[in-house]
Amino acid sequence: MIPQLGLGTFRIKGQKITDIVEQAIDIGYRHIDTAQFYENEADVGKALANTSIKRDNLFVTTKVWHENLKRQPLIDSLKRSCDHLQVDQVDLGLIHWPSPDNEVRLETYMEALMEAKSQGLTKHIGVSNFPTDLLRKADQIVGPGNILTNQVELHPFMQNDAVQAACKSLNIQVTAYMPLAVGKVMEDDTLKRIAVDHDASAAQVAIAWLLHKGIIAIPSTTKTSHLRSNFDAQQLSLSEDEMVAIDQLNRNERIVDPDFAPQWDN
């Protein structure tokens, strides 16, 4: 349902992200991921408005920032997101982070997200940065089958095994943000060795590893050459031994850990 390879847009704003999104769509990307916190929804929206690709063939994700988690602010913020993105509805609306210190009750914002869905502001709903306990509680609140994905940091050095297992048990897809570990995959000897064997890049190997696992990957870049290279990773086939070798790189090396983050599983 969610295109397995998408374009992440974190930390890129203005004309630069408009150009990148346009180039990505021209290359063949059909999944664009943004967020209210990125302050680039309007810039992404310009690219979406300029493309000749039919809206039904694009999958657009945004995320509700934790300052908008009360019922009416959440709904109003998603309306603004749709306006900025120049779409009638987003395909996927996520809770970007659980409410810090449970300031807003989980029931409040998950039920509000369901209401936003019923109002047609988002076609599907999901969460981001949810550890297993919160994920299970959120699933109970909205009912099985309603949470489409949990978007979490996931790359060869931070494999989030507990979250992966919980998602599988709940039939929730896993989306990996920061799949290239802010470039660290390019420095790893194992990934570089596998890349040489495939006449590929270490980044392509890291993306292919995720895709082989059925995980959605949303790498970001500002370079057209990397856009194309990341997209071409979909054609890379890894052996079982190579997959195992990458699995063994896990060292729970978390990169994203703000002071308002929830209690992680590992």
Q: How many CB atoms lie within 10 A of CB 84?
A: 19
| φ, ψ at 264 (rounded to 5°) | -75, 160
The pLDDT of residue 185 is above 80: yes
| φ, ψ at 105 (rounded to 5°) | -65, 145
The pLDDT of residue 194 is above 80: yes
Torsion of CA 84, 176, 146, 64, to 10 degrees: -30
| φ, ψ at 54 (rounded to 5°) | -65, 145
Reading the block at residue 4, the tokens are 């397995």
* Predicted pLDDT at 144: 97
Of the chain, the end-to-end C-alpha distance in Å amounts to 29
Q: Give the percent of the chain with pLDDT over 90.
A: 99
* Predicted pLDDT at 1: 87
The pLDDT of residue 266 is above 90: no
* Predicted pLDDT at 121: 98
d(CA 72, CA 70): 6
d(CA 16, CA 58): 20
d(CA 133, CA 138): 9
E-state strands within the chain: 7-8, 31-33, 59-64, 90-95, 122-128, 147-153, 173-177, 216-217
Q: What is the mean pLDDT of residues 189-207?
A: 98
Q: What is the mean pLDDT of residues 238-261?
A: 98
Q: Give the percent of the chain with pLDDT over 70.
A: 100
Assign 30 a pLDDT band (cuts: 50, 70, 90). Answer: very high
* Pairing mode of beta strands 173-177, 147-153: parallel
d(CA 63, CA 80): 12
Closest by alpha carbon to 233, among 250, 248, 221?
221
Query: Whole-number mean pLDDT of the chain?
Result: 98
Using DSSP, state whether 130 is helix, strand or coil: coil
Answer CATH for 7-180+215-220 from 1.10.3720.10, 3.40.50.2300, 3.20.20.100, 3.20.20.120: 3.20.20.100
Assign 203 a pLDDT band (cuts: 50, 70, 90). Answer: very high
Q: 29, 38, 109, 177: which is the annotated catalytic residue?
A: 38
d(CA 169, CA 174): 12
d(CA 256, CA 7): 18
Q: What is the mean pLDDT of residues 234-253?
A: 98
pTM: 0.98
| 177 noted as active-site residue | no
The pLDDT of residue 126 is above 90: yes
Reading the block at residue 33, the tokens are 């991921």
Residue 31 among known ligand-binding residues: no
What are the pLDDT digits (tens) for 39-95? 999 999 999 999 999 999 999 999 999 999 999 999 999 999 999 999 999 999 999
Assign 239 a pLDDT band (cuts: 50, 70, 90). Answer: very high
